[in-house]
Chain A
């Protein structure tokens, strides 16, 4: 099956710094990737849709200047949390849509802790 790799799996950073999370489709090309955030004991909330070669589409309430998304190639999308604060601490998960667009595959997630 299709494999999506997310890196890093966990990261601790100081308040005010920026953190980049990578999402790679290893054995297929993904023109569309999605970024989710999950707070403890809650569901996954869609943050944005990342399209290769174009600007990301953000869900309502998600700050695009804070959560920078770059989808520079057909196998890589990055999420940069800028000027991170403790309230940004969360579990971030990406998914990649296959070429047929009928099924999405998920990365293993990144646990971000901002201290």
Chain B
């Protein structure tokens, strides 16, 4: 079964706006990762945040992790049309090595 649930399922914004996507999961994790997938293509790894970290930045990306609420958020600042893609959170479950993906958020950035 899917470990992560994401919201919103779809998000449409104007270029230059910020986009926030949320992910919730069910069990304890070792780390949580965010990936991007352009239509019909492979995954691009964006950022990994470990269970003992609360926030992480990478360029225009900001990821937070709240293990008490079992949730994470991905913020993309100053969005660009090229950010249009599907974004997935994925968790590595404690005690196992499987990476389980959330349902994903489809982001559309209008130029």
Question: Taking A34-B98, A43-B104, A46-B100 as contacts, is the C-beta distance between A108 and B48 under 8 angstroms?
Answer: no
> Would you call the interface of chain A mostly helix, strand, loop, or mixed?
strand
Q: How many A-B residue pairs have CB under 8 A?
A: 52
Chain A: interface residue total (CB-CB under 8 A) = 25
Chain B: interface residue total (CB-CB under 8 A) = 21
> Would you call the interface of chain B mostly helix, strand, loop, or mixed?
strand
Contact in complex: A102, B103 (CB < 8 Å): no
Docked pose: A107 CA to B37 CA in angstroms: 12
Interface residues of A (CB under 8 A from B): 6, 32, 34, 36, 41-46, 49, 91, 93, 95, 97, 101-109, 111
Given known contacts A43-B104, A109-B42, what 5 new A-B pairs fall within 8 Å (CB)? A34-B99, A43-B101, A93-B42, A103-B31, A104-B92
Q: Which 9 A-B pairs have the closest CB atoms?
A: A108-B42, A109-B42, A44-B101, A106-B43, A43-B103, A43-B101, A43-B104, A104-B99, A101-B97
